[in-house]
Structure 1
Amino acid sequence: MTTPATIHRLSDTGSTITPAANDIRGRAVKDKDGETIGKVHDLLIDDEERKVRFLLVEHHGFLGFGHSSSFIPVDAITEIGEHEVVISHSREHVAAAPTYDPELIADTKFHGRIYSHYGCNPFWDDGYLYPANLPTMLAPH
Protein backbone atom coordinates (compact mmCIF):
# COMPACT_ATOMS: atom_id res chain seq x y z
CA MET A 1 0.00 0.00 0.00
CA THR A 2 1.28 3.44 -0.90
CA THR A 3 0.73 6.62 1.07
CA PRO A 4 -2.52 8.21 -0.07
CA ALA A 5 -2.54 11.60 -1.71
CA THR A 6 -4.11 14.52 0.10
CA ILE A 7 -7.71 15.33 -0.82
CA HIS A 8 -8.89 18.89 -1.56
CA ARG A 9 -12.15 20.47 -2.63
CA LEU A 10 -11.95 21.39 -6.29
CA SER A 11 -13.42 24.79 -5.41
CA ASP A 12 -10.45 25.44 -3.09
CA THR A 13 -7.78 24.66 -5.70
CA GLY A 14 -8.45 27.22 -8.41
CA SER A 15 -8.72 24.36 -10.92
CA THR A 16 -11.70 23.88 -13.20
CA ILE A 17 -13.35 21.11 -15.17
CA THR A 18 -12.96 21.66 -18.89
CA PRO A 19 -15.01 22.07 -20.87
CA ALA A 20 -17.23 23.80 -18.31
CA ALA A 21 -20.31 21.99 -19.67
CA ASN A 22 -18.79 18.78 -18.23
CA ASP A 23 -18.67 20.08 -14.66
CA ILE A 24 -21.13 17.95 -12.66
CA ARG A 25 -21.34 20.31 -9.67
CA GLY A 26 -24.94 21.38 -9.12
CA ARG A 27 -26.40 18.23 -10.71
CA ALA A 28 -28.94 16.14 -8.83
CA VAL A 29 -27.69 12.91 -7.26
CA LYS A 30 -30.08 10.00 -7.61
CA ASP A 31 -29.97 6.64 -5.92
CA LYS A 32 -30.21 3.27 -7.67
CA ASP A 33 -34.03 3.54 -7.62
CA GLY A 34 -34.08 6.98 -9.23
CA GLU A 35 -34.87 8.85 -6.01
CA THR A 36 -33.18 12.24 -5.66
CA ILE A 37 -30.95 12.27 -2.59
CA GLY A 38 -29.25 15.63 -3.02
CA LYS A 39 -27.00 17.59 -5.34
CA VAL A 40 -23.30 17.63 -6.10
CA HIS A 41 -21.99 20.58 -4.11
CA ASP A 42 -18.29 20.07 -4.81
CA LEU A 43 -15.76 17.54 -6.08
CA LEU A 44 -12.91 16.22 -3.94
CA ILE A 45 -9.70 15.67 -5.86
CA ASP A 46 -6.35 14.21 -4.89
CA ASP A 47 -3.23 16.36 -5.13
CA GLU A 48 -1.11 13.78 -6.99
CA GLU A 49 -3.13 12.35 -9.89
CA ARG A 50 -5.60 15.25 -9.77
CA LYS A 51 -8.53 12.88 -10.20
CA VAL A 52 -11.91 13.27 -8.59
CA ARG A 53 -12.16 10.79 -5.71
CA PHE A 54 -15.41 11.83 -3.97
CA LEU A 55 -18.55 13.80 -4.60
CA LEU A 56 -19.48 16.19 -1.80
CA VAL A 57 -23.26 15.85 -1.82
CA GLU A 58 -25.63 18.22 -0.05
CA HIS A 59 -28.93 16.80 1.18
CA HIS A 60 -31.92 18.97 2.03
CA GLY A 61 -34.50 17.28 4.22
CA PHE A 62 -32.80 13.92 3.59
CA LEU A 63 -34.86 11.10 5.15
CA GLY A 64 -36.76 13.60 7.26
CA PHE A 65 -33.66 15.32 8.64
CA GLY A 66 -32.47 18.86 7.99
CA HIS A 67 -29.59 19.96 5.81
CA SER A 68 -26.65 17.54 5.74
CA SER A 69 -23.72 16.58 3.53
CA SER A 70 -21.84 13.41 2.70
CA PHE A 71 -18.92 12.11 0.69
CA ILE A 72 -19.73 9.53 -1.97
CA PRO A 73 -16.83 7.84 -3.78
CA VAL A 74 -16.86 8.29 -7.54
CA ASP A 75 -16.58 4.50 -7.71
CA ALA A 76 -20.30 4.38 -6.74
CA ILE A 77 -21.35 6.36 -9.85
CA THR A 78 -23.20 4.26 -12.41
CA GLU A 79 -24.34 7.00 -14.77
CA ILE A 80 -23.76 10.67 -15.48
CA GLY A 81 -26.54 12.48 -17.30
CA GLU A 82 -26.96 16.06 -18.41
CA HIS A 83 -28.79 16.96 -15.20
CA GLU A 84 -28.07 14.11 -12.79
CA VAL A 85 -25.55 11.67 -11.40
CA VAL A 86 -26.82 8.18 -10.52
CA ILE A 87 -25.15 6.03 -7.86
CA SER A 88 -25.32 2.29 -7.21
CA HIS A 89 -26.76 2.50 -3.69
CA SER A 90 -30.07 3.34 -2.01
CA ARG A 91 -30.80 6.57 -0.18
CA GLU A 92 -30.93 4.58 3.06
CA HIS A 93 -27.40 3.30 2.40
CA VAL A 94 -26.20 6.87 1.83
CA ALA A 95 -27.94 7.98 5.05
CA ALA A 96 -26.07 5.26 6.98
CA ALA A 97 -22.63 6.36 5.68
CA PRO A 98 -20.01 7.80 8.04
CA THR A 99 -21.14 11.23 9.19
CA TYR A 100 -19.72 14.10 7.19
CA ASP A 101 -17.32 16.37 9.02
CA PRO A 102 -15.54 19.12 7.04
CA GLU A 103 -12.55 18.76 9.40
CA LEU A 104 -12.01 15.23 8.05
CA ILE A 105 -11.63 16.23 4.40
CA ALA A 106 -7.97 15.12 4.39
CA ASP A 107 -8.28 12.24 6.89
CA THR A 108 -7.38 8.96 5.17
CA LYS A 109 -8.95 6.85 7.93
CA PHE A 110 -12.23 8.65 7.32
CA HIS A 111 -11.85 8.09 3.57
CA GLY A 112 -11.17 4.41 4.21
CA ARG A 113 -14.40 4.11 6.23
CA ILE A 114 -16.34 5.73 3.38
CA TYR A 115 -14.83 3.40 0.78
CA SER A 116 -15.59 0.42 3.01
CA HIS A 117 -19.18 1.55 3.54
CA TYR A 118 -19.73 1.73 -0.22
CA GLY A 119 -17.92 -1.58 -0.86
CA CYS A 120 -15.11 0.05 -2.86
CA ASN A 121 -11.35 -0.27 -2.65
CA PRO A 122 -9.61 2.98 -1.70
CA PHE A 123 -7.77 4.71 -4.51
CA TRP A 124 -4.43 4.29 -2.70
CA ASP A 125 -4.63 0.46 -2.66
CA ASP A 126 -2.20 -1.36 -4.92
CA GLY A 127 -3.96 -2.39 -8.11
CA TYR A 128 -6.73 0.21 -7.78
CA LEU A 129 -8.16 1.21 -11.15
CA TYR A 130 -10.08 4.43 -11.68
CA PRO A 131 -13.65 3.55 -12.69
CA ALA A 132 -13.74 2.92 -16.42
CA ASN A 133 -17.37 4.03 -16.64
CA LEU A 134 -16.43 7.60 -15.67
CA PRO A 135 -15.79 9.93 -18.56
CA THR A 136 -12.61 11.96 -18.57
CA MET A 137 -14.84 14.94 -17.84
CA LEU A 138 -14.19 14.30 -14.16
CA ALA A 139 -10.49 15.05 -14.46
CA PRO A 140 -9.88 18.60 -13.26
CA HIS A 141 -7.68 20.89 -15.39
Structure 2
Amino acid sequence: MNTNTLTKSTSDIISSDKVEGTTVYNHAGDKLGTIDDLMIDKRSGQVRYAVLEFGGFLGMGTDRYPLPWNMLEYDVEKEGYVVPLDKEKLEGAPRYPHDQMPEYNRDYGRQVNGYYGVDAW
Protein backbone atom coordinates (compact mmCIF):
# COMPACT_ATOMS: atom_id res chain seq x y z
CA MET A 1 0.00 0.00 0.00
CA ASN A 2 1.15 3.51 -0.67
CA THR A 3 3.06 5.07 2.21
CA ASN A 4 0.68 8.02 1.88
CA THR A 5 -2.12 5.88 3.30
CA LEU A 6 -0.71 5.32 6.77
CA THR A 7 -3.74 7.01 8.27
CA LYS A 8 -7.04 5.30 7.55
CA SER A 9 -9.60 7.57 5.95
CA THR A 10 -13.31 7.37 6.56
CA SER A 11 -14.17 9.66 3.65
CA ASP A 12 -15.71 8.40 0.42
CA ILE A 13 -13.43 10.79 -1.49
CA ILE A 14 -9.79 9.84 -2.01
CA SER A 15 -6.82 11.47 -3.70
CA SER A 16 -5.51 9.71 -6.81
CA ASP A 17 -2.03 9.51 -5.26
CA LYS A 18 -3.52 7.33 -2.51
CA VAL A 19 -5.20 5.04 -5.04
CA GLU A 20 -2.00 4.52 -7.02
CA GLY A 21 -0.02 1.76 -5.34
CA THR A 22 -3.09 0.22 -3.70
CA THR A 23 -3.21 -3.57 -3.84
CA VAL A 24 -5.87 -5.34 -5.91
CA TYR A 25 -7.16 -8.75 -4.85
CA ASN A 26 -9.61 -11.23 -6.32
CA HIS A 27 -12.53 -12.67 -4.32
CA ALA A 28 -10.36 -15.62 -3.25
CA GLY A 29 -8.00 -13.17 -1.54
CA ASP A 30 -5.16 -13.61 -4.05
CA LYS A 31 -3.09 -10.49 -4.70
CA LEU A 32 -3.33 -9.67 -8.39
CA GLY A 33 -1.18 -6.55 -8.46
CA THR A 34 -1.32 -2.86 -7.64
CA ILE A 35 -2.96 0.20 -9.17
CA ASP A 36 -0.38 1.95 -11.34
CA ASP A 37 -2.52 4.70 -12.81
CA LEU A 38 -6.04 6.03 -13.21
CA MET A 39 -7.52 6.91 -16.58
CA ILE A 40 -10.00 9.78 -16.29
CA ASP A 41 -12.51 10.97 -18.86
CA LYS A 42 -11.42 14.58 -19.37
CA ARG A 43 -14.92 15.74 -20.27
CA SER A 44 -16.99 14.09 -17.54
CA GLY A 45 -14.27 13.90 -14.90
CA GLN A 46 -15.21 10.27 -14.21
CA VAL A 47 -12.56 7.61 -13.64
CA ARG A 48 -12.92 5.10 -16.48
CA TYR A 49 -10.10 2.68 -15.71
CA ALA A 50 -7.74 1.69 -12.97
CA VAL A 51 -4.56 0.44 -14.62
CA LEU A 52 -3.32 -2.64 -12.79
CA GLU A 53 0.39 -3.43 -12.72
CA PHE A 54 0.74 -7.21 -12.85
CA GLY A 55 3.57 -9.65 -13.45
CA GLY A 56 7.30 -9.15 -13.71
CA PHE A 57 9.78 -8.87 -10.88
CA LEU A 58 10.53 -5.73 -8.86
CA GLY A 59 8.68 -3.59 -11.39
CA MET A 60 10.62 -4.93 -14.37
CA GLY A 61 8.77 -6.75 -17.11
CA THR A 62 5.39 -5.83 -15.71
CA ASP A 63 2.44 -5.18 -17.97
CA ARG A 64 -0.43 -2.74 -17.44
CA TYR A 65 -4.00 -4.06 -17.43
CA PRO A 66 -6.81 -1.51 -17.69
CA LEU A 67 -9.70 -2.57 -15.46
CA PRO A 68 -13.05 -0.82 -15.83
CA TRP A 69 -13.36 1.32 -12.70
CA ASN A 70 -16.85 0.01 -11.90
CA MET A 71 -15.39 -3.51 -11.46
CA LEU A 72 -13.35 -2.47 -8.43
CA GLU A 73 -14.83 -2.59 -4.96
CA TYR A 74 -12.91 -1.19 -2.02
CA ASP A 75 -12.48 -3.60 0.91
CA VAL A 76 -11.83 -1.77 4.18
CA GLU A 77 -10.44 -4.88 5.90
CA LYS A 78 -7.92 -5.56 3.13
CA GLU A 79 -7.25 -1.86 2.59
CA GLY A 80 -7.33 -2.65 -1.09
CA TYR A 81 -9.61 -3.19 -4.05
CA VAL A 82 -11.32 -6.47 -4.89
CA VAL A 83 -12.25 -7.52 -8.42
CA PRO A 84 -14.26 -10.53 -9.62
CA LEU A 85 -11.32 -12.04 -11.54
CA ASP A 86 -8.98 -14.96 -11.19
CA LYS A 87 -5.37 -14.85 -12.38
CA GLU A 88 -6.15 -16.93 -15.46
CA LYS A 89 -8.80 -14.45 -16.66
CA LEU A 90 -6.41 -11.57 -16.02
CA GLU A 91 -3.56 -13.24 -17.93
CA GLY A 92 -5.68 -13.20 -21.11
CA ALA A 93 -6.91 -9.63 -20.64
CA PRO A 94 -6.03 -6.61 -22.77
CA ARG A 95 -2.67 -5.23 -21.60
CA TYR A 96 0.30 -3.18 -22.68
CA PRO A 97 3.90 -2.52 -21.65
CA HIS A 98 4.48 0.56 -19.47
CA ASP A 99 6.12 2.48 -22.33
CA GLN A 100 3.47 1.64 -24.98
CA MET A 101 0.22 3.09 -23.66
CA PRO A 102 -2.59 2.67 -26.20
CA GLU A 103 -4.93 5.44 -27.21
CA TYR A 104 -7.85 5.23 -24.81
CA ASN A 105 -10.60 5.85 -27.36
CA ARG A 106 -14.07 4.33 -27.77
CA ASP A 107 -12.78 1.36 -29.79
CA TYR A 108 -10.22 0.50 -27.13
CA GLY A 109 -12.88 0.98 -24.45
CA ARG A 110 -15.18 -1.48 -26.22
CA GLN A 111 -12.33 -4.00 -26.44
CA VAL A 112 -11.45 -3.72 -22.74
CA ASN A 113 -15.02 -3.56 -21.45
CA GLY A 114 -16.11 -6.34 -23.81
CA TYR A 115 -13.43 -8.64 -22.44
CA TYR A 116 -14.74 -8.13 -18.91
CA GLY A 117 -18.40 -8.14 -19.95
CA VAL A 118 -19.21 -4.66 -18.66
CA ASP A 119 -20.93 -1.77 -20.43
CA ALA A 120 -18.67 0.37 -22.58
CA TRP A 121 -18.67 4.12 -22.22
Q: TM-score, normalised by structure 1?
A: 0.63
Written as runs of structure 1 = structure 2, the 5 A alignment for 1:34-113 is: 34-61=29-56, 66-81=61-76, 83-100=79-96, 102-113=100-111
How far apart, CA to CA, are the structure 1 residues paired with 2:81 and 2:116?
16
- What SS does the aligned partner of 1:98 have? coil
Shift of 1:20: 3.6
Match of 1:61, as an amino acid? G
Question: Cα RMSD between the aligned structures?
Answer: 2.4
Written as runs of structure 1 = structure 2, the 5 A alignment for 1:108-119 is: 108-119=106-117
Match of 2:86, as an amino acid? S
Q: Determine whether 1:28 maps to 2:26.
A: no
* 1:59-118 alpha-carbon deviations (Å, 9 max, x no partner): 1339xxx42111010121133436311101112111111232644132321211110111
Structure of higher RCO (CA pairs closer than 8 Å, 6+ residues apart): 1
How far apart, CA to CA, are the structure 1 residues paired with 2:69 and 2:38?
9
8 Å CA contact 2:16, 2:38 repeated in 1 = no
> Judging changes above 3 Å, is the alpha-carbon distance between structure 1 residues 26 and 48 closer, same or farther for their aligned structure 2 residues?
same
* Equivalent residue in structure 1 for 2:119, among 103, 118, 121: 121
Among all aligned residue pairs of Structure 1 and Structure 2, give the percentage whose two residues are the same amino acid.
21
Q: TM-score, normalised by structure 2?
A: 0.72
Match of 1:75, as an amino acid? N
Shift of 1:19: 4.9
Q: Which runs of 5+ in 2 are unaligned?
A: 1-12
How far apart, CA to CA, are the structure 2 residues paired with 1:50 and 1:108?
16
> Judging changes above 3 Å, is the alpha-carbon distance between structure 1 residues 28 and 19 closer, same or farther for their aligned structure 2 residues?
closer
Match of 2:69, as an amino acid? V
Q: Which runs of 5+ in 1 are unaligned?
A: 1-17, 124-141
The number of equivalent residue pairs is: 103
